[in-house]
Amino acid sequence: MSAKPAAAQQLARKLDDRSATVGVIGLGYVGLPLALQFEASGLRVLGFDIDATKIERLRAGQSYINYLPAATIAAAVGRRLQVTSDFDRLGEPDALIVCVPTPLNRHREPDLGYVTRTADQIARHLRAGQLVSLESTTYPGTTDEELRPRLERTGLTVGEDVFLVFSPERQDPGNTRYGPHNIPKIVGGCTPACLELGQRLYGLAVSQVVPVSSPKVAELAKLLENIHRAVNIGLVNEMKIVADRMGIDIFEVIDAAATKPFGFVPYYPGPGLGGHCIPIDPFYLTWKAREYGVHTRFIELAGEINRGMPLWVLHKLAEALNNVGKAIRGARVLIIGIAYKKDVDDLRESPALELLDLLEERGAHVDYHDPHIPHIPPIRRGRYDHRSIPLTAQAVGASDLVLIATNHSAVDYDLIARHAALIIDTRGQYRGGHPNVVHA
């Protein structure tokens, strides 16, 4: 038997007897939970990240993600999880899982720089018998067009010497019901051998693996999932504007419609889209679709509506202040929740940050309270020196307006209702006709 088929057989044996080492590249909101899941499943895990501070904290058993307990990390590090910023060790793991960002550039086009640079680093250390899995959300064709050529320039053949799959991440940060262990894992391989090994790998740690015929199918499936959410959120945001003009509570409308036992899924409006997926992923498809002469009008319209929501909230806020004889300029505004989503400490693409910018540009004095984000770190939007202030009756009462941007569970909303002169509620936190609440 030739040496080439033996690479697949050897890797299969290592996966089956759990002697394989799994490498996870990128220890953020996707990679770290996945690394912990593989370690908890009994495998040796080597985690890679360019951020030396993250590595130091993990080695010390500390967590930098609020819903991942430090005790869980400390236990994993004490057993089978190693972490490093030394990418010269990429040749050690038998499987390498890539969980790096795929943002948009300033022209709102896909930026695959993190993916391609990671692929180049892998290629420098690639050896026969390794499996590479890309989990970063991207456009259809990335695995075949960007990763495969980089791996095969080493002289190793994908499907014979090394193996390549796409398996999209499906994390829902802060979700206590679904996590890496019980969210079904889609896997598409470049060859049948790649697919088989990808299934074996993820089958060690995930309750259900869903094979598909190619990486392109898996890539497009991930985009469809997130575009489905983006389009429906765009629809309900537009419905919110219509309902507002008609004097109807959109949240009461949604709750009533949700009693239908079939054919309706409730989505809820907000001040805009945030996070690493929903505001970004649709543009990966619209960009790639143009290569095929397709103009994705429906998707782009939803994106336009969602991107316009912070300005709509600002309009409602200005109108509410005007009704009590005040202007945005000089107003003291307290934003409740700066994270993009309830009960997480993630600021990526947060519409609350955009609202903060819009208010300060117009002369407002802005503070924020967020129990999960004590200060705003430097991010690509610019630099902020804001720190979360304590939520007290005095702080609320001293504000001209309180803006509910993210409705964290740990916030005392009764205290706000008792002491706020005016509340702008973008999340439907207050129902039932509070006299000082304006829904936006």
Tell me whether residue 194 is one of the annotated catalytic residues.
Answer: no
**Do 410 and 388 touch, CB atoms closer than 8 A?**
no
Residue of 99, 190, 194, 277 with catalytic role = 277
Residue type present at position 325: G
For helices 281-291 and 297-307, angle between their N-to-C axes, nearest 10 degrees: 150
Point out the residues that are catalytic.
Answer: 277
